[in-house]
Structure 1
């Protein structure tokens, strides 16, 4: 069966050193996406210059969608980016992720109608952060120094044959490693722009996918990513966001008023 055509979307904010490693790991993929969209939540010129440097000889379209910096507005910039996407399947990674060379291939291999996929991450620890950034390291394995959750470096895609559908949103869901059909995302009106600051945007959106009977599939022993260490973001608004998610879950909400429809 042919792979679905896909757009890789990644949010970024003022960390070009991490974004560079993500783009280098993308160039190393066994299968490339059909296009890449960087959803930029208001970064300064350094990020723009880095993207322009890559655009000069990138093998696929590399698009940069930017809006002004007005605190954390990730749901808004992600909606704008996915509205621009030209392909049916969306793979989402964070801007501080380094992908295993088979990452895109694994997501496309297990993409299935009426499903979304989510994977885990291996953590790169603070102790090797400066070395990883200065030496632009994008290759890691089970025996690499300075990583945590190293069991997640093991890739045995065959074991996905035993994966079961997930009917409820998993606590293991991470927006840094997931994929879904663009038409499903539009059906629920995308990310909720009433969410403010850090957190919950991915899980609240996924809850609405469950509310329209889209099932989850957890990617184990495949779609491996490495998360670059950074200090935790402010969680000032997490209570407001948790309440929005609670209402979405309890009332089985399937559509939000302020979403991707503004940009389509």
Structure 2
């Protein structure tokens, strides 16, 4: 399935590459979805009608990337959907490799992510001539941008927990049944970026997050033609991130608001998923032993409370919770506190985080405090008494020495440390 809009020249090169596949032309189909281009793209498609099974479906108005992909997929007849962008050129073995992956699964659902090598001018010239670029033209300066992001061994362990973060539809395939069951692309998303990650997120969770659902084939190669993109399109990604994070108010998309490469973001998804599980397993994060003054503050004013069971506390009007033991709802989300942009400046009287903050990486704890103090007058970091050895929780981070943390924060923030029978509360303003 090839979505296209106002790019006849690039589409011509892409279709030419699909006409040179090692997979016999009668064993795959090509659907081009024209998203309301001013000059219809059907004439470009028709050039290849005698060489491959190809057709063009057109919407007379531009509806956006998600709706266009859904329209193309709706016209496909095959049991497997391969998504290839219209400025992306297929290696001769590309379709065969996608077919072989799905055939090997004996009917089990699956997603194959191929590589996209970003090309510059010389490689683009070779591709337009119908040639496979020589190795120097696609060296490590011009490779798949995900390669540099995922260069360490642990990144590929993390991939099993958050494969959707690498789910770019410039070269990816999914069984049609899964695509339909997950609901396809979200047509609310019309700007550039993340519509494919969000769709693959739903695919992953639709099947319960099995570690073998997604695979990467480094030999399933496509080449990304050099092209022009408006700066505003890239900025649109931030709007999409805010939309997706509100649609799925969980720590997975929240992790994308922390600084780092895609590999590091995948690591945070794994770490914070394991942190939530560890906090629950060790009996931490419970508000049972909150001191009376703090309970009175929570009940009297607007609060953001983070923990396990905090949604059951008496909270003042306008309060929200990040309660991982309560269902997702309008005022309860499953975040850890890295993403707070949904709230207005000064919206809360207090932000209370019971133990989950102790599992944040140092840079993410800084992020939590910096953003939190824009939304709340005060942050109370509550630490339950525990004999846990931080080494037993590795690779999870875990704060135990609160006086040391208070000393670190003191030069920048107003810090108070209060001891109670069952908890210690570190307050910052």
TM-score band (shorter)?
0.7 to 0.9
State how far apart, in whole Å, the 1-side matches of 2:44 and 2:30 are. Answer: 14
State how far apart, in whole Å, the 1-side matches of 2:67 and 2:6 are. Answer: 17
Instruction: Please state if 1:187 is matched with 2:181.
Output: yes
Aligned to 1:104: 95
Kept in 2: contact 1:124–1:146 (CA 8 A): no
Instruction: Please state if 1:226 is matched with 2:216.
Output: no
Kept in 2: contact 1:97–1:226 (CA 8 A): yes
TM-score under structure 1 normalisation? Answer: 0.76
Moved over 6 A (4+): none
Among candidates 10, 14, 24, match of residue 16 of structure 2 = 24
Kept in 1: contact 2:3–2:69 (CA 8 A): yes
Q: Which has the higher contact order (CA 8 A, sep 6+)?
A: 1
Aligned to 1:117: 112
Q: Name structure 1 gaps, 5 residues minimum.
A: 1-8, 153-162, 253-264
Instruction: Please state if 1:144 is matched with 2:137.
Output: yes
State how far apart, in whole Å, the 1-side matches of 2:193 and 2:134 are. Answer: 29
Kindly report which structure 2 residues correspond to 1:163-178, keeping only aligned pairs within 5 A, or say none.
Answer: 166-178=160-172
Determine helix, strand or coil for the equivalent of 2:234: coil
Instruction: Please state if 1:59 is matched with 2:56.
Output: no
State how far apart, in whole Å, the 2-side matches of 1:166 and 1:250 are. Answer: 21
Aligned to 1:86: 77
Q: How many angstroms does 1:225 deviate by?
A: 0.7
Aligned to 2:240: 241
174 and 103 in structure 1: CA distance in 2 versus 1, 3 angstrom threshold? same
Aligned to 1:157: none
Q: How many angstroms does 1:248 deviate by?
A: 4.3
Kept in 1: contact 2:2–2:83 (CA 8 A): yes
Task: Give me the CA root mean square deviation.
Answer: 2.8
State how far apart, in whole Å, the 1-side matches of 2:14 and 2:30 are. Answer: 11
Q: How many angstroms does 1:141 deviate by?
A: 3.2
**Bigger proportion of residues as helix:** 2
Q: How many angstroms does 1:140 deviate by?
A: 1.6
Q: Which piece of structure 1 moves more, 27-36 or 86-95?
A: 27-36
Determine helix, strand or coil for the equivalent of 2:13: helix
Kindly report which structure 2 residues correspond to 1:122-133, keeping only aligned pairs within 5 A, or say none.
Answer: 122-125=117-120, 127-128=121-122, 131-132=125-126
State how far apart, in whole Å, the 2-side matches of 1:102 and 1:130 are. Answer: 19
